[in-house]
C-alpha cells in the first residue's frame, strides 16, 4: 500500500479539484473543510467514549421521538457550531432539531449560498458496544433569493438537486467519503497527524455482490415481495446463498456493501408505512453517493432522488447498492406486492 506521505491530503484534493465543483467560488470547498474539522472533533470524542461520561442516554428524546444518546447531543452541537462559526452556510437542518436553523452571513446580508442537512451521529446506540457509527451530510444550493433569510423550501429540494453529499464513518479507522457529483472518493484519518489522506479514489459498487443488509427482526412486517427476495437471497443456488450482514448503522452497512458489493434494505414495516429512515438526512445523501458510485437507489418502485420532499423529517423506504441486486429486488416487489 502507498504510504501516507505519498497520498494527497483531503485539503490538497479539494484544492486540485475545486474547478470541478458546482458554482466553483471556493465556498463549497470551505464548507467541506468545515465538515472535515467537525468530523475530527467528533472522532476525538467517539474514540474516548469508554473513558469519559459520554456513554448512554442523554435523558431526552429528539423530534423523531427517539431517545437521544449523549454523543447524539455532542455531535449535533459540534457540527452546528463549526458550520455557523465558519460563516459559509445560510441554514442548517439536523435530525436532532425540530426546525431548521437560519444562519446569517458574517456581513449580515444573508448572501451565503448553501444549506446543510445532517444526521450528526447515525447508529449512535452502537457507541455503548464499541461498534461503528457515522455522520451523514447533504448540501444544496439555496433556491430562495440571496439577501433574504433562508426558507423551508431551501431544505425541501429533491435529492437530484444536491451539490455534495457524504458520510464520516467512525470505525476501526475514521473515513470521510463524499461526492460533489464527479464520482465518490474516500479519505482516511491518520490520527497521529490529524490529517485525512486520499485512500479510496473513485469508489464504485461492484455490479453485483453477495451481501444483503436488512434487519430481519422485522421480517414478519415486510411485504410479500420483500419476503420473497430475502428467501431468494437465502436459497442455495448458483452463487447463492448470499451472506447476511447488518450492523445497525446505515453508514457502516452501506460502506461495507460499497467496498464488497451488496444491497442495503430498509423497507416499510408495519405501522411505519412511510419507512423509518429520513428522506432528507439519510436517504437522499446515501442515494446520491450510490448513483455516483454506479449503484442504484430506489424506494422499490421509484428513484429516491426524484422524490419531492414535503416535510423536513419525512420518512421513506430505501433499497440501495449493486445495480443487479437492486434490480432483482424490484422484480420481486413488482411481482409480489
Class of domain 211-336: alpha beta
User: Which of 39-53, 126-140, 157-171, 227-241 is predicted with the least confidence, judged by mean pLDDT?
Assistant: 39-53
Q: Is 331 annotated as ligand-binding?
A: no
Going by pLDDT thresholds of 50, 70 and 90, the confidence category of residue 1 is very low
Per-residue cell: 262: 451488496
Q: Is 246 annotated as ligand-binding?
A: yes
Q: Is 128 annotated as ligand-binding?
A: no
Q: Is 99 annotated as ligand-binding?
A: no
* Range 158-174 average pLDDT: 94
Q: Is 122 annotated as ligand-binding?
A: yes
Class of domain 4-203: alpha beta
Share of the chain above pLDDT 90, in %: 67
Q: Is 40 annotated as ligand-binding?
A: no
Q: Is 215 annotated as ligand-binding?
A: yes
Q: Which of 4-13, 82-91, 147-156 has the highest average model confidence (pLDDT)?
A: 147-156
* Range 283-301 average pLDDT: 97
Describe the strand order of the beta sheet including 296-298 as a list of residue ranges: 243-244, 211-213, 263-266, 318-321, 296-298
Q: Domain limits of the chain?
A: 4-203, 211-336
Going by pLDDT thresholds of 50, 70 and 90, the confidence category of residue 88 is confident
Q: Is 123 annotated as ligand-binding?
A: yes
Mean pLDDT score of the chain, rounded to an integer? Answer: 88
CB 188 within 8 Å of CB 40: no
pTM confidence score: 0.92
Higher pLDDT, 183 or 88: 183
Per-residue cell: 125: 446506540
User: Which of 39-48, 52-61, 120-129, 181-190 is predicted with the least confidence, judged by mean pLDDT?
Assistant: 52-61
Q: Is 272 annotated as ligand-binding?
A: no
Give CA separation, 19 vs 13, 88, 137, 183, 233, in Å.
11, 18, 22, 14, 43
* pLDDT score, position 55: 45
User: Which of 3-7, 160-164, 225-229 is predicted with the least confidence, judged by mean pLDDT?
Assistant: 3-7
Q: Is 266 annotated as ligand-binding?
A: no
Q: Is 276 annotated as ligand-binding?
A: yes
Amino acid at each position: 500500500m502507498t504510504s501516507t506521505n505519498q497520498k494527497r491530503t483531503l485539503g490538497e484534493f479539494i484544492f486540485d479539484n475545486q474547478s470541478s465543483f458546482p458554482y466553483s467560488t471556493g465556498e463549497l470547498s470551505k464548507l467541506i473543510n468545515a465538515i472535515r474539522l467537525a468530523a475530527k472533533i467528533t472522532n476525538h470524542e467517539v474514540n474516548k467514549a469508554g473513558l469519559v461520561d459520554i456513554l448512554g442516554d442523554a435523558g431526552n428524546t429528539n423530534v423523531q421521538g427517539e431517545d437521544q444518546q449523549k454523543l447524539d447531543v455532542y455531535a449535533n452541537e459540534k457540527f452546528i457550531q463549526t458550520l455557523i462559526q465558519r460563516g459559509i452556510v445560510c441554514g442548517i437542518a439536523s435530525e436532532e432539531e425540530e426546525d431548521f436553523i437560519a444562519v446569517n452571513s458574517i456581513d449580515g446580508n444573508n448572501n451565503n449560498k448553501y444549506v446543510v442537512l445532517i444526521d450528526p451521529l447515525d447508529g449512535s446506540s452502537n457507541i455503548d458496544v464499541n461498534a461503528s457509527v457515522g455522520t451523514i451530510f447533504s448540501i444544496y444550493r439555496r433556491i430562495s433569493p440571496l439577501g433574504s433569510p433562508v426558507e423551508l423550501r431551501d431544505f425541501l429540494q429533491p435529492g437530484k438537486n444536491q451539490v455534495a453529499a457524504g458520510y464520516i464513518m467512525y470505525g476501526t479507522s475514521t473515513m470521510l467519503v463524499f461526492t460533489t457529483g464527479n464520482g465518490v472518493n474516500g479519505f482516511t484519518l491518520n490520527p497521529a497527524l490529524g490529517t485525512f489522506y486520499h485512500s479510496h479514489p473513485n469508489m464504485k459498487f461492484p455490479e453485483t455482490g453477495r451481501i444483503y443488509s436488512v434487519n430481519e427482526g422485522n421480517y414478519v412486517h415486510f411485504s410479500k415481495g420483500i419476503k420473497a427476495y430475502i428467501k431468494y437471497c437465502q436459497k442455495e443456488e448458483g452463487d447463492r446463498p448470499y451472506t447476511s450482514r447488518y450492523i445497525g448503522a446505515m453508514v457502516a452497512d452501506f460502506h461495507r456493501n460499497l467496498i464488497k458489493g451488496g444491497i442495503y434494505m430498509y423497507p416499510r414495516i408495519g405501522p411505519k408505512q412511510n419507512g423509518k429512515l429520513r428522506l432528507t438526512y439519510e436517504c437522499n445523501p446515501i442515494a446520491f453517493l450510490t448513483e455516483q458510485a454506479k449503484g442504484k437507489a430506489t424506494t422499490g418502485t421509484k428513484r429516491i432522488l426524484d422524490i419531492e420532499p414535503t416535510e423536513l423529517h419525512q420518512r421513506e423506504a430505501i433499497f440501495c447498492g449493486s445495480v443487479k441486486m437492486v434490480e432483482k429486488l424490484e422484480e420481486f416487489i413488482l411481482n409480489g406486492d
